[in-house]
Structure 1
Amino acid sequence: MEIIVNLDVMMAIRKVSSKELAKAIGITEANLSLLKRGKVKGVRFETLANICQYLHCQPGDILEFRGDDTEK
């Protein structure tokens, strides 16, 4: 099972660049890139809230859970 990060999709829908979003939410472009690629172990709720506020979306629009159907 894994968490899929769809931040790049939401940014494309909203026509927001990485540079613009990083500046607006107060993180580096490098850290935003890591987040977009799912290469982080966690994200602060404050950062997630800032992203959602700027992109006018919900956390579920950005993060998706894909479970393994064989696990019970």
Structure 2
Amino acid sequence: AFYIAIFPQFMPAHVSHLAMGLGLAGVHDAEALVWFTVLILCAHQARAWFAKRRVKRALDAVTGTVLVGFGVELALRG
């Protein structure tokens, strides 16, 4: 549905619509492949970073502080 709705806007009048549509779809697929590859590589790096003990303790401390703060706010409002 995306290709049918969007691609005709980018096709010149005097070209093969099939060839131009396949070309645009190919470019879109190539961009998606590059984007998802970057996301996977970044997620892999983030996983290694989050696995460090110091980072885990810091995230636990921040999360605990936020949850206690929400609890205090809820107790004071109720």
* TM-score interval for Structure 1 and Structure 2 normalised by the shorter chain: under 0.3
The structure number with the bigger radius of gyration is 2
Q: Which has the higher contact order (CA 8 A, sep 6+)?
A: 1
Which has a greater percent of helix?
A: 2
TM-score, with normalisation over the residues of structure 1? 0.26
Which has a greater percent of strand?
A: 1
